[in-house]
Amino acid sequence: MRADIIEAAKKAYASSGDAITLGSVLADGECDPEPIVRIPLAMLNRHGLIAGATGTGKTRTLQLVAEQLSRAGVPVFLSDVKGDLSGVGAAGTPNDRITQRAKDTGFAWSPSAFPVEFLSLTGKSGAQLRATVSAFGPLLLSKVLGLNDTQTSVLTLVFKYCDDKGLLLLDFSDLRAVLQYLGGDGAAELKDYGGMSKQTVGVLLREMVELQQQGAEAFFGEPEFNIDDLMQTERDGRGLVSILELSDVQDKPALFSTFMLWLLASLYNHLPEVGDVDKPKLVFFFDEAHLLFDNASKALLDEVEKVVRLIRSKGVGIFFITQSPKDIPSDVLGQLGNRVQHALRAFTADDDKALTAAARTFPKTPFYDIQQTLTTLGIGDAFVTVLAPNGAPTPPFATRLIPPAARMGPLTDAEIAQRLASSAQVKEYATAIDRESAREMLAKRVGPAGQTADGGDGASQAASGPAPARAGGRAPKPEPSTFEKVMNSPLTRTVAGVVARGIMGALLPRKRSSSSRRSVW
């Protein structure tokens, strides 16, 4: 039987072509010393799943796949919820476990570091990611704020009003000023839009305050993050590994999971259609993927499935990393052609049910009892099926995965500080820009006799010209060129905002009512 399994594996992976290596086949408890289990590069935009119980090696599998993609010239985006992926930027250190695993799998291991940029939603642990309130749009903002249908409709009305009046919503202070204005002196201007109650305005403002207390305000504003910064390659041809550090917001899943949706939708909007490609333009790893789907409405799940399906044609691959396949809705799971399933444990009746369900997602094989095998895999071993170059799934094989080349653990605080200090992206996005937008425009509209929407003197603000830098180190934007003035005019920005939100609205509809650190190998 062992010889039959190895022969079947060699036949299944004989035509892989350019591929990333996962490991060597396990048969009858022994590892064949030839690393033949691979994922063709051309199939990596067909998406994938890395699953398994806590401590079984999911993070290291993610790491070794990301490393090899970078080596192949493919940019990579990683969401790092627990803060244990930063070591990709440093070479690994040989030890007895790595040496033994390299010997078992027949893999010529050598330590290597990879080009890394760190990103952050708060700006504390990487380049500050920002999106304007207008670009984020009312639908995703409603999800973050936890609004019901009625409140979402009101927020959508506010965005429509701002589009019609040429009011730029760049940061939270702009949205707050508009809500306060429309809830007071400007209420009459909404008569053609249906109006809104002061109670609803109060709810929206309170929810915004709560989100601000979570540190989300830093995410909204300018300069907005440029998607092209994720698509870079180094001079030596390796793809950039962009790591979104989420350890400082891991207790705010609504914030970062919604940001990930915005980023995916932005990628879909930004990138051209490319169809089938020899290798993906970008591979996107979504760790702790269950946080995206928890408490999501059916409509939202349908649209996530649509994003996953459509973004393939833009050359983007998505890998979801979670404990069990049951964490992923079936319609989304059906789009994930590459599967690396680490061990599952069956300590409870629910565990046993999840184990049975996971086993049924694999193609049938005469070589393994899949359900039993999934409970007996060791750390760093996995059950693997991938898409062959012809698009057909390979038979599943128990596989001993090769060791990553980079450090299997986080960088030290000093190492991260050194990298952030020398990062061009950190410097590029460090200082927020406050140019004239809805807050200042409403202040001018109120005039000398009235008060601004946020309680200031309209006359003094209007007379002083563009608003000064706000608290917290914000600096005014340098004097723009004539072309920039045209492109940044209210009309141009408004049209761009409407188009972008229209695309996101098609992908992401309105919301309807309704652990411990992993061990390394």
User: Which of helix, strand or coil describes residue 242?
Assistant: strand
Q: How far apart are CA 210 and CA 208, in angstroms?
A: 5
Helical packing angle, 253-270 and 490-507, nearest 10°: 110
Taking the C-alpha atoms of residue 39 and residue 416, their distance in angstroms, rounded to an integer, is 32
**Partners of 398 in the β-ladder:** 383
Whole-model pTM over 0.85: no
User: Which of 220, 488, 190, 142 has the alpha carbon at shortest distance from 178?
Assistant: 190
β-strand 282-286 against 316-322: which pairing, if any? parallel
The single residue listed with the structure tokens 């180094």 is 234
Q: Could you tell me the two tokens for 264?
A: 């995916």
With contact defined as beta carbons under 8 Å apart, do 98 and 412 qualify?
no
Is the Cβ–Cβ distance between 143 and 164 less than 8 Å? no
What sign results for the dihedral spanned by CA atoms 349, 517, 399, 96? Answer: negative
β-strand partners of 37: 23
State phi, psi for 410 to the nearest 5 degrees: -75, 160
DSSP structural state of residue 348: S
Q: 127 and 425 in contact (C-beta within 8 Å)?
A: yes
> Is the separation of the CB atoms in 159 and 501 below 8 Å?
yes
191 φ/ψ sector (left φ>0, alpha ψ -120 to 50, else beta): alpha
Which residue blocks in 273-385 are alpha helix, DSSP H?
Answer: 290-293, 298-311, 330-333, 349-360, 370-376
> Looking only at Cα atoms, what is the longest distance across the chain?
90
Tell me how many helices (H) and strands (E) the chain has: 19, 13
Domains of the chain, start order: 2-129+222-425 (3.40.50.300), 133-169+172-219+435-468+478-507 (no CATH)
168 to each of 184, 321, 339, 502, how far by Cα in Å? 19, 37, 44, 17
The C-alpha angle with vertex 242 and arms to 241 and 243, in degrees rounded to 5, equals 110
What DSSP element (H or E) covers 80?
A: strand 76-80
Would you tell me the crossing angle of helices 298-311 and 490-507 to the nearest 10 degrees? 100
DSSP character at residue 8:
H
Rounded Cα gap, residues 147 and 207, in angstroms: 9
- Per residue in 225-256, pLDDT (tens digit) is 999 999 999 999 999 999 998 877 777 776 77
- Burial class of residue 3, CB neighbours in 10 A (0-12, 13-18, 19+): exposed
Interatomic CA distance for residues 271 and 503, integer angstroms: 13
- Each residue's pLDDT, cut to its tens digit, for the chain (521 residues) gives 789 999 999 999 988 789 999 999 999 888 999 999 999 999 999 999 999 999 999 999 999 999 999 999 999 999 888 888 999 999 999 999 999 999 999 999 999 999 999 999 888 889 999 999 998 888 878 877 888 888 888 999 999 999 999 999 999 999 999 999 998 888 888 888 888 888 899 999 998 988 887 777 788 999 999 999 999 999 999 999 999 988 777 777 767 777 887 888 888 888 899 988 899 999 999 888 887 787 666 656 777 788 888 899 999 999 999 998 988 988 899 899 999 999 998 888 888 888 998 898 898 899 999 999 999 999 999 999 999 999 999 999 999 999 999 999 999 999 999 999 999 999 999 999 989 999 999 988 766 544 443 444 433 333 333 443 333 333 444 455 544 444 444 444 444 444 445 444 544 443 333 333 333 34
Task: Indicate the residue type of 262.
Answer: W
